[in-house]
Structure 1
């Protein structure tokens, strides 16, 4: 049984900008994750040894949370772009035909008359 019937004579669209973005997503994801985490690590290396109760420790922790939020935001944006690219790629793919659906036969009564009964 053939589940997908391709539409005969359909001309498939050429890939465009979505293909370029789709191919660059892994690198964008890697750099967008490593850069904020690297900045947080660099901040820890350059920060002097601070006591846990000082204001410097609170500022360092706030920076860590900010960088974590930037990473999560980046992942969310990447997921959104990836879903958009996937939808465009599917829509540009080959066209498929559904199984035939028998239409109702022509009737002598107008459609409004048939709805009332």
Structure 2
């Protein structure tokens, strides 16, 4: 297989997305963590059981948001890498002559090419 000369697509949206992914990932991780810390620091009114129930609900929400953001970032990263690989250099295989080709013989030019 030989590489086609000067056949490479320019970088597109996938590079922009890959550059933004670390910031999105950090924001998607630290915002739920700050949410959990904020709930623990503010004074809440209610019984101890209600406060604990509310804090546990916020903990569960934060954990689920972190997993959702991480899995979405991982999925988008895989998609961007696939697009980058597809835009890579093009290759051409060597020619392979077929003995049984569909070309017409010189005396059969007026006949149909394929039989059904």
* Category of TM-score, reference length = shorter chain: 0.7 to 0.9
TM-score of the pair, normalised by structure 2? 0.73
Give the C-alpha shift of residue 31 in structure 1.
1.2
1:44 is paired with a residue whose SS is helix
| Unmatched 5+ stretches in structure 1 | 108-117
Aligned length: 101
Cross-structure match for 1:78: 73
TM superposition outliers: structure 1 runs of 4+ over 6 Å: none
Q: Are the structure 2 counterparts of residues 9 and 44 from structure 1 closer, same or farther at C-alpha, using a change threshold of 3 Å?
A: same
Is the contact made by 1:10 and 1:95 (CA closer than 8 Å) also made in structure 2?
Answer: no
Q: Are the structure 2 counterparts of residues 103 and 6 from structure 1 closer, same or farther at C-alpha, using a change threshold of 3 Å?
A: closer
Give the C-alpha shift of residue 12 in structure 1.
0.5
Q: Are the structure 2 counterparts of residues 102 and 63 from structure 1 closer, same or farther at C-alpha, using a change threshold of 3 Å?
A: same
| Unmatched 5+ stretches in structure 2 | 102-116
Which one has a bigger Cα radius of gyration? Answer: 2
1:23 aligns with 2:15: no
Note the aligned Cα RMSD (angstroms): 2.5
Deviations for 1:54-93, whole angstroms, at most 9, x for unmatched residues?
Answer: 1210111011011110110011111111111111111111
Q: 1:94 aligns with which of 70, 89, 92?
A: 89
Is the contact made by 2:4 and 2:89 (CA closer than 8 Å) also made in structure 1?
Answer: no
Cross-structure match for 1:46: 42
